[in-house]
């Protein structure tokens, strides 16, 4: 490989690299897993990289995928070669414009990392549902199955579209190819220069709209000639296969790698054949090699050009000896007689071939379900049967429809030639990033081939991650997870009991554990099963306290570099001196913009990587029995569904496990059963220093620190320390305790940060301090006792009256999958404490939907009456319309109740007491507390009436759920609110309906990786704004005030807890639309003091004038008062620049673009002053 242009990259980078060469304009919008393609293009353009035209690409972020497609369409009409990048619902939003682009024969390429479409549930992972939904648009479709194929064939799509005028979708599997890192040969601009049809480009430009030679396009046509005009395009599509084949041959001349529209691999006289496309073709090739060694005659046709579908080329590569064919589709079309690729193949043989093989179809790999050689073996074995199963599935156990092929034991291929490693990490601990660097270090500094792939759960930082690395002397085609590793690293000791981290570890393998335990403690805590595997398989076990080392050198919980260094030292895959030097190079590249102090800390981490020890393995461990199973009183659903998924055993669940919840409905409150215990440090409560303010609970992102109030009976048998409650008076005589749920805590320390404590001898003594987890483990029993045996006392006080009282209310949002220190979830939790027992939530797709509803964890829960928020997610772009629809349904049902109540009141047979209740309800139907009082009384009346045969009551019986006034909440981030969903938001608040919109404003697209939004302020660096945002932030709140009848507030819980509570209370009470914009510090901001200071960061933001607190209440205008109230004090502008410098999103600008930085920083301050001054003017208006 040494004489070739070798790079180590993933599929997205390969596609972006090629597209940059051919593109003049890129219209972009983020969506997982395609976002990084656009990020690369934006970064390269910002740094001056030139395309084939000797220029930088003009990159424009749009407000949605529909907007990006529209911009692509417009740019093409004016003669610029234009590209976009998308997936899933994003591609579907582009479909209307795709029809137009194809119909107008405009050459372009949409690069798609193919992904699942949200249906019964959202999934960000990969399959072909999205591209199959676009196959009818008129775009040609080119598929790749590996990172190398993306590099080689993406250029074919660009070359072919220019020559043919037919637009292309260039697609590859989301995650499996888009995020798989491989060592590949790169193609560069000069490789393509002589292949471009420059005459075709000139003709394209001549066809561009031009006032000097005007034409009209996009006309309306009538039935008399539309059909004929549509058919006239056929010759362009007929030419595409030969054009693509021509360019494939040209690429082969450059690379030596041969591609065809349909590639055949296998025995020339094969009798059984699989036809497939995408990454599975690599695993099938491996399996064919394995079977060929056993004398079996099998083959594969890998599809590249899917549209136009060339029957001639397909039939031309299939051996005449083939008797049976299995066509594998990575999609499901419910109600169809077969999936798309299968239907195409059947039609090809039925209409155009004398050969009549038996053809069956199967489905595989939905939502990135791992597809292994064992599953491929099942397909070939199925073809060996006299009557093979048709419409089969692989990789699952379907015990309901019985579609699945038999599950076979996994086989280890390339066992001697490939070194495999697995790394179990915690989201945001840096494990994934470190392993990306490791594979690039090995790829760039040795002749070895390498591969890296990363699997995650749906939590944000703090979730499960597993890195799968392979190294070898030959190209690696194993497009599936590592199942038989030589080396396993477990970066969190809690995982030893949570997951089967030793599964598949080879004999004589190596295991590395990050643990705070010493030698003897480790032997004590290791599960017997793990000990037995170590002893039986002669495993060498290393352990290191990377957690302690990271804290000592100032890296917090970032253990990644220490453990990466340990990996290189233990495995000796490359010389350690070279590994250390390269690690430090990557550190400089990754953190160079963050200052020398950060660099030095990470350099120290590399140097400390050798501080591991070897665990002595007792041979007697080989005969240890399993530990006694831990008894759980969890519901059956939790035992049978939640626990297996949380153990990473979801792949083993059969179809029958989901019987009864086929529509995607999950019970609430399952998050409470996780009890992960993953934080090495948790808060300890010191009762002597506690002032009972409840602020710790108020700011906790995960609702895992709470005040409990115990009456006399509840105090019996509870031995932990409590305090006499000081206030409120309604709880006099009871006992108070702050309790930490240590098993649910993620160790952010925000509670410690806000704790005022007491002053003793002039020194602040906090009531909370972070302590090692093992010293607090006993608190888990106290938490269990208090949460199950102590009842809420919220009924004794008005929980809406002040901050302290609000925290006596049970949180109905708890233990979410949000990041440690998340700035969003304290708001979400607080809303449930105030209104949760009657709350309905419409949630935009984004961070808040992922941490609020990722299977199997449902953090929304119920109170002791079984009441709680009813939550649903629709899409990213329609969250406000979705919520409005919920409100409209409630409104309609309640109108029916009014009609029926009036009928009953007019009926002489209705008892007077029932009439009185019904009249009272009609008069107070929008008063929440009154409806809560009346509802149970009315339910009794309605039940009795229905039993007595009253037809009105029978109809009312199905409507009683609507008696209580509901609190409709619509929750989304700034991407949903400022950008893709803004049109809907505007329409919903304009409707005047009584809904509450909560905007969790992180000022960046947090969920997709930190891209710029219209909420991103000037001077902030974000993805899609690689050189710093150059325009000011949109003032969403002030726009909403122009309606005059919308309640609007801007809040920051860490700056003013009482103002936050007041704004939420007023917004919900207002009988009309409300919009609350909440400042939410995010991990993407790069707060230098860490996510344990998110509350302090909000306070600083308001103090310096970066963020302002205000409320606009239309009801005040009715009283002759100014509806606008500015709640924050005049800023201390001298602190503004220091605030910016404390966040990497701003400070890195001075490192990357020093010439522009100071000007942009000053403009950021000027914009903040302009905004503040506009607010001051609002306060002076007379009403």
Enter the tokens of residue 220: 């309306």
pLDDT band at 3 (very low <50, low <70, confident <90, very high): low
Q: What angle do CA 399, 404, 409 make, to 5 degrees?
A: 105
> 905-949, pLDDT tens digit by residue?
999 999 999 999 999 999 999 999 999 999 999 999 999 999 999
Q: Is residue 729 part of a domain?
A: yes
How many domains, the chain? 7
pLDDT in tens, 562-617: 999 999 999 999 999 999 999 999 999 888 877 788 899 999 999 999 999 999 99
Helices (H), 868-981: 879-906, 912-923, 928-947, 951-957, 974
- Considering the domain architecture, whether residues 618 and 632 belong to the same structural domain is answered as no
Instruction: Determine the Cα–Cα distance for residues 93 and 917; give it in Å rounded to an integer.
Output: 50
Give the CA distances from residue 476 to residues 3, 147, 487, in Å, rounded to whole numbers and listed in that order. 19, 11, 18
Would you state the pLDDT for residue 61? 96
Exposed / middle / buried, residue 319 (Cβ in 10 Å: 0-12, 13-18, 19+): middle
pLDDT tens digits for range 34-77: 999 999 999 999 999 999 999 999 999 999 999 999 999 999 99
307 and 347 in a single domain? The answer is yes
Query: Where does a domain end: 590, 623, 656?
Result: 623
CATH code, domain with 761? 3.30.70.20
Give catalytic status of residue 115 as yes or no: yes
Identify the band that residue 2 occupies on the pLDDT scale cut at 50, 70 and 90.
very low
pTM for the model stands at 0.95
Mean of the pLDDT values across residues 452-481?
90
Please indicate, yes or no, whether residues 696 and 733 belong to a single structural domain of this protein: yes
- Is residue 759's pLDDT more than 90? no
Q: At what angle do helices 560-571 and 431-445 cross, to 10 degrees?
A: 40
- Angle (CA) 808-809-811 rounded to 5° is 120
Chain centroid offset of residue 353 CA: 46
* Candidates 65, 339, 814, 1003; catalytic one: 65
Mean pLDDT of the chain: 96
The CATH number of whichever domain residue 609 belongs to comes to 3.40.920.10
The order of strands in the sheet holding 1124-1126 is 870-873, 839-843, 967-973, 996-1001, 1074-1079, 1047-1051, 1110-1112, 1124-1126
Domain for residue 976, yes or no? no
| 863: nearest Cα among 884, 835, 842, 840 | 835
Give the end of a domain, one of 393, 408, 433: 393
- Cα–Cα distance between 279 and 180 in angstroms, integer? 10
Q: Are residues 344 and 376 in the same domain?
A: yes
Residue 65 designated active-site: yes
Alpha helices by DSSP H, listed for 165-260, are 189-193, 198-206, 226-231, 234-255
Q: Describe the crossing of helices 912-923 and 928-947 by its angle, rounded to 10 degrees.
A: 150
Tokens matching residue 761: 């001898």
Residues 1063 and 1168 in one domain: yes
Is pLDDT of 796 > 70?
yes
Is the CB of residue 1095 less than 8 Å from the CB of residue 699? yes
Which residue has tokens 């302590």?
771
Tell me, yes or no, whether 544 and 492 share the same domain: yes
* DSSP string across 368-406: G----HHHHHHHHHHHHSSS--SSEE-SS--TTT--BPP
pLDDT of amino acid 764 = 86
Does residue 37 form part of some domain?
yes
pLDDT at residue 818 is higher than 70: yes
**Closest among 366, 365, 348 to 357, alpha carbons compared:** 348
The dihedral of CA 844, 845, 846, 847: what is its sign? Answer: positive
Q: Give me the mean pLDDT over the 970-993 stretch.
A: 97
Kindly name the residue from 39, 83, 115, 1003 that is annotated as catalytic. Answer: 115
Tell me the β-bridge partners of 85: 111
CA 774 to chain centre: 31
Residue with tokens 């201390």: 1132
**Segment 15-36, tens digit of pLDDT:** 999 999 999 999 999 999 999 9
Burial of 179 (0-12, 13-18, 19+ CB in 10 A): buried
Query: What are the pLDDT digits (tens) for 612-633?
Result: 999 999 999 999 999 998 888 9
Is residue 443 in some structural domain? yes
Any idea what the CATH number is for the domain that residue 367 is in? Answer: 3.40.50.920
What range does the domain containing 373 cover?
Answer: 262-393
Residues 633 and 607 in one domain: no
Q: Are 664 and 481 in contact (CB under 8 A)?
A: no
Residues 438 and 583 both lie in one domain = yes
Q: Can you give the CATH number for the domain in which 641 is found?
A: 4.10.780.10
The answer to whether residues 10 and 75 belong to one domain is yes
Share of the chain above pLDDT 70, in %: 100
Length of the chain: 1183
1171 is catalytic: no
Percent of the chain's residues with pLDDT above 90? 95
Is 511 contained in some domain?
Answer: yes
415 alpha carbon, distance to own chain's centre:
34
Give me the half-sphere count of Cα atoms (radius 13 Å) on the Cβ side of residue 367: 14
Neighbours of 958 (CB within 10 A): 12
Neighbouring C-alpha atoms within 13 Å toward the C-beta of 698? 24
pLDDT digits (tens, 9 = 90+) for 865-888: 999 999 999 999 999 999 999 999
The token pair that represents 1040 in the structure block:
């909403």
**CATH at residue 1046:** 3.40.50.970
The catalytically annotated residue of 1007, 1008, 1056, 1167 is 1007
In this predicted model, what pLDDT tens digit does every residue of 630-654 receive, in sequence order?
A: 888 999 999 999 999 999 999 999 9
Q: Is the dihedral of CA 436, 854, 406, 360 positive or negative?
A: negative
The pLDDT tens digits for 1022-1051 are: 999 999 999 999 999 999 999 999 999 999
Q: Could you say which of 754, 786, 809 is where a domain stops? A: 809
Whether residues 41 and 173 share a domain: the answer is yes
* b/e map 512-551, b = 16+ CB within 10 Å: bbbbbbeeeebeeebeebbbbbbbebebebbbbbbbbbbb
d(CA 355, CA 273): 14
pLDDT at 1: 41
pLDDT digits (tens, 9 = 90+) for 1144-1174: 999 999 989 999 999 999 999 999 999 999 9
Q: Would you call 1007 a catalytic residue per the annotation?
A: yes
pLDDT at residue 558, as a whole number: 84
User: Which residues contact residue 892 at a Cβ distance below 8 angstroms, ignoring those fewer than 6 apart?
Assistant: none
Structural element, H or E, at residue 422:
strand 418-426
Residue 637 placed within a domain: yes
Catalytic residue, from 8, 32, 281, 1008: name it. 32
SS3 1117: helix
Question: Does a structural domain hold residue 98?
Answer: yes
Q: Are residues 439 and 526 in the same domain?
A: yes
Query: Which position has the higher pLDDT, 811 or 3?
Result: 811
Stretch (H or E) spanning 1162: helix 1154-1179
Q: Which two tokens stand for residue 763?
A: 């020194």
Residue 320, both tokens: 């005449």
Per the domain annotation, does 531 fall within a domain? yes
Closest CA to 578 of 550, 613, 611, 606: 606
Judgement on whether residues 453 and 524 belong to the same structural domain of the protein: yes
Measured CA to CA, the distance from residue 1018 to residue 1029 in angstroms comes to 5
Q: Which of 414-423, 833-842, 1075-1084, 1102-1111 has the lowest mean pLDDT?
A: 414-423
């Amino acid at each position: 490989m040494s004489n070739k242009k070798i790079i180590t990259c993933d599929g997205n980078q390969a596609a972006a690299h090629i597209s940059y060469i051919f593109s003049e304009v890129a219209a972009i919008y983020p969506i997982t897993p395609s976002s990084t393609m656009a990020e690369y293009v934006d970064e390269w353009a910002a740094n001056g990289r030139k395309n084939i035209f000797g220029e930088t690409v003009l990159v424009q972020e749009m407000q949605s995928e529909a907007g990006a497609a529209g911009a692509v369409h417009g740019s093409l009409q004016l003669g610029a070669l234009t590209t976009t990048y998308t997936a899933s619902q994003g591609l579907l939003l582009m479909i209307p414009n795709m029809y137009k682009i194809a119909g107008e024969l405009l050459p372009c390429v949409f690069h798609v990392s193919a992904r699942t479409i949200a249906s019964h549930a959202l999934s960000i992972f990969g399959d072909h549902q999205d591209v199959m939904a676009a196959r009818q648009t008129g775009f040609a479709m080119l598929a790749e199955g590996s990172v190398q194929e993306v590099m080689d064939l993406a250029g074919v799509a660009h070359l072919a579209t220019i020559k043919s005028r037919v637009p292309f979708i260039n697609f590859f599997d989301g995650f499996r190819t888009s995020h798989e890192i491989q060592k590949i040969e790169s193609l560069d601009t000069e490789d393509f220069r002589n292949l471009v049809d420059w005459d075709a480009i000139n003709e394209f430009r001549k066809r561009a709209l031009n006032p000097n030679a005007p034409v009209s396009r996009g006309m309306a046509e009538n039935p008399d000639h539309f059909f004929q005009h549509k058919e006239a395009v056929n010759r362009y599509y007929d030419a595409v296969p030969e054009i693509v084949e021509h360019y494939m041959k040209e690429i082969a001349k450059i690379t030596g790698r041969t591609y065809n529209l349909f590639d055949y691999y296998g025995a020339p006289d094969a009798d059984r054949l699989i036809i497939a496309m995408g990454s599975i073709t690599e695993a099938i090739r491996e399996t064919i090699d394995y079977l060929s060694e056993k004398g079996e005659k099998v083959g594969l046709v890998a599809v590249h050009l899917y549209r136009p579908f060339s029957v001639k080329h397909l039939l031309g590569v299939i051996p005449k000896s083939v008797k049976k064919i299995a066509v594998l589709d990575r999609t499901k079309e419910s109600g169809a007689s077969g999936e798309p690729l299968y239907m195409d193949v059947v039609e090809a043989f039925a209409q155009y071939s004398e050969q009549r093989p038996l053809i069956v179809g199967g489905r595989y790999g939905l939502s990135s379900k791992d597809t292994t050689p064992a599953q491929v073996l099942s397909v070939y074995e199925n073809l060996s049967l006299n009557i093979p199963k048709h419409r089969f599935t692989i990789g699952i156990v379907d015990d309901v429809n019985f579609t699945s092929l038999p599950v076979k034991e996994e086989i280890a291929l390339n066992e001697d030639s490939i070194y495999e490693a697995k790394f179990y990490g915690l989201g945001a601990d840096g494990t994934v990033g470190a392993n990306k660097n490791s594979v690039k270090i090995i790829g760039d500094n040795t002749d070895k081939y390498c591969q890296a792939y990363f699997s995650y759960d749906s939590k944000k930082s703090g979730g499960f991650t597993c890195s799968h690395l392979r190294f070898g002397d030959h190209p690696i085609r194993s497009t599936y997870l590592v199942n038989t590793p030589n080396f396993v690293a477990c970066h969190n000791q809690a995982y030893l009991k949570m997951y089967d981290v030793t599964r598949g570890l080879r004999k004589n393998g190596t295991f590395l554990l990050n643990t705070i335990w010493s030698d003897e403690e480790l032997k004590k805590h290791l599960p017997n099963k793990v000990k037995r595997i170590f002893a039986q398989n002669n495993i060498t076990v290393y352990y290191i306290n990377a957690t302690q080392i990271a804290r000592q050198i100032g890296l917090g919980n970032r253990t990644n570099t220490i453990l990466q260094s340990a990996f290189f030292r233990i495995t000796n895959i490359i010389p350690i001196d070279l590994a250390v030097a390269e690690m430090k190079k990557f550190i400089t590249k990754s953190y160079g913009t963050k200052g020398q102090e950060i660099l030095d800390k990470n350099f120290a981490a590399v140097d400390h990587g050798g501080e591991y020890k070897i665990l002595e393995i007792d041979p007697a461990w080989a005969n240890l029995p399993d530990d006694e199973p831990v008894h759980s009183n969890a519901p059956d659903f939790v035992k049978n569904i939640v626990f297996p998924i949380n153990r990473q055993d979801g792949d083993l669940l059969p179809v029958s496990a989901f019987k009864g919840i086929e529509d995607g409905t999950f019970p609430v409150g399952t998050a409470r059963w996780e009890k992960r215990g993953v934080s090495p440090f948790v808060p300890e409560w010191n009762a002597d220093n506690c002032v009972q303010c409840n602020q710790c609970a108020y700011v906790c992102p995960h609702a895992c620190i709470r005040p409990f109030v115990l009456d006399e009976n509840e105090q019996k048998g509870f031995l932990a320390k409590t305090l006499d409650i000081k206030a409120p008076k309604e709880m006099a005589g009871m006992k108070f305790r702050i309790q930490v749920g240590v098993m649910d805590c993620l160790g952010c320390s925000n509670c410690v940060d806000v704790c005022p404590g007491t002053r003793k001898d002039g020194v602040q003594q906090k009531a909370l301090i972070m302590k090692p987890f093992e010293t607090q483990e006993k608190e888990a029993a106290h938490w269990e006792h208090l949460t199950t045996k102590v009842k809420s006392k919220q009924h004794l006080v008005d929980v809406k009256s002040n901050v302290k009282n609000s925290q006596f209310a049970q949180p109905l949002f708890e233990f979410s999958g949000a990041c440690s220190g998340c700035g969003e979830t304290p708001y979400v939790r607080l809303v449930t404490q105030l209104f949760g027992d009657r709350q309905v939530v419409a949630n935009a797709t984004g961070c808040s939907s992922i941490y609020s509803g990722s299977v199997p964890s449902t953090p929304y829960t119920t109170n002791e009456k079984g009441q709680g928020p009813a939550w649903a997610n629709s899409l990213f772009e329609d969250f406000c319309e979705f919520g409005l629809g919920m409100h409209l349904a409630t409104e309609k049902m309640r109108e029916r109740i009014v009609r029926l109540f009036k009928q009953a009141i007019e009926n002489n047979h209705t008892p007077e007491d029932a009439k009185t209740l019904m009249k009272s309800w009609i008069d107070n139907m929008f008063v929440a507390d009154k409806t809560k009082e009346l509802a149970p009384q009315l339910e009794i009346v309605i039940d009795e009436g229905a039993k007595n045969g009253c037809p009105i009551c029978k109809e009312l019986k199905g409507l009683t759920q609507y008696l209580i006034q509901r609190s409709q909440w619509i929750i989304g981030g700034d991407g949903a609110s400022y950008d893709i969903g803004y049109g809907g938001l505007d329409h919903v608040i304009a409707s005047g309906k009584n809904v509450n919109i909560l905007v969790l404003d992180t000022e960046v697209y947090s969920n997709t990786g930190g891209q710029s939004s219209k909420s991103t302020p000037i001077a902030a660096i974000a993805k899609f704004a690689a050189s710093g945002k150059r325009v000011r932030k949109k003032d969403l709140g002030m726009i909403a005030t122009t309606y005059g009848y919308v309640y609007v507030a801007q809040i920051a819980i860490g700056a003013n807890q009482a103002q936050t509570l007041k704004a939420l209370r007023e917004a919900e009470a207002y009988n009309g639309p409300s919009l609350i914009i909440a400042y939410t510090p995010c991990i993407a901001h790069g707060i230098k003091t860490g996510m344990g200071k998110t509350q302090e960061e909000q306070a600083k933001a308001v103090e310096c004038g970066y963020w302002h607190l205000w409320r606009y209440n239309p009801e005040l205008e009715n009283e002759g008062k100014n509806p606008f109230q500015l709640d924050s004090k005049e800023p201390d502008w001298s602190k503004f620049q220091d605030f910016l410098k404390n966040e990497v999103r701003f400070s890195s600008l001075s490192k990357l673009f020093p010439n522009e930085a100071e000007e942009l920083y000053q403009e950021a301050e000027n914009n903040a002053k302009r905004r503040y001054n506009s607010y001051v003017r609002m306060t002076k208006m007379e009403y």
